[in-house]
Amino acid sequence: PDIISMSWGWREDAQCSITHCTNETSAIYIERVNMEYVKLGLRGVSIVTASGDAGAPGRTNEDCYNESKVNAVYPGASPWVTSVGGTFIVKDNETRKWTTTMCIDNDCFTGNKERVTNFNYTGWTSGGGFSKYTNRSTYGWQVKAVDDYLSSNIPLPNDFARHGRAYPDVSMIGHSCPVVMNGNIDGIDGTSCSSPLFATVLSILNEHQLARGRNKIGFASPLLYAMFYSNYYIFNDITEGNNYCTEDMCCDTRSNGGSDYGYMAGFGYDPVYGLGTPNVERMKDWLDLFT
């Protein structure tokens, strides 16, 4: 396949608690798996991965314990995948006359504001943070975007891997996603919805490229950051929200509004939404200019 979407993950430094690492450590295991992702990327395969559903604390810290407050999720924190966070539409009170069968029969959401999924609103929190095992300076394309965030005077956790790979890279809808099960439409939640949705975006871009005799997208992350640096408005920047909640609760905050258990959204890149949500038509226009 040209595109692979993965929807699982576990605490980065506890990989060996859920698989057999024999005499290896979690760090060695991750390095080995990362090399397989590199091989796929070199073959022109796009890999997209869910960023997790338990916020920056992760599933090993659902109750906001004091030890190891923020925990990157792997493979979402791998630099060799495109990590996708989850958003939801803030419902308004407008009445719309729907024209699609889906919305006529199922009362689609109305609203034009998008926010990161958070325990307070959706019962779970989109994941994001910084990898302990990968320094972003080793691959480069993310450095400026992340450094700008860290130098923006936004409140940050007191202890996190400041130089690590930051994730997610982008975000997509992850709440009330319509799925057909046994002939019925059910709304499901999770970055396991966001990831395949962004895989669909990459499929659209691949189709656009091939129709014009150009190469497919392949390993997408460097291209996404190049788009961002060239045209900030290719991504819808959302500056409200945080990921210091989990699937069970919200963690303590500090007097400055920040938390040791996660991150706040800001202008440009942030480890809550990544670069933001994609504007597909603007992406196509960019590809026409620069590829």
pLDDT in tens, the chain (291 residues): 999 999 999 999 999 998 888 889 999 999 999 999 999 999 999 999 999 999 999 999 999 987 899 999 999 999 999 999 999 999 898 888 899 988 888 878 889 899 999 999 999 999 999 999 999 999 999 999 999 999 999 999 999 999 999 999 999 999 999 888 898 888 899 999 999 999 999 999 999 999 999 999 999 999 999 999 999 999 999 999 999 999 999 999 999 999 999 999 999 999 999 999 999 999 999 999 999
Residues found in the chain: 291
b/e per residue 161-186 (b: at least 16 CB within 10 A): bebbbbbbbbbbbbbbbeeeeeeeee
Give the pTM: 0.95
In sequence order, what are the residues at sequence separation of 6 or more whose Cβ sits closer than 8 angstroms to the Cβ of residue 66?
Answer: none
Radius of gyration of the chain measured on its C-alpha atoms? 19
CB 235 within 8 A of CB 269: no
Reduced to 3 states, what is the DSSP secondary structure of residue 112? coil
CB 63 within 8 A of CB 69: no
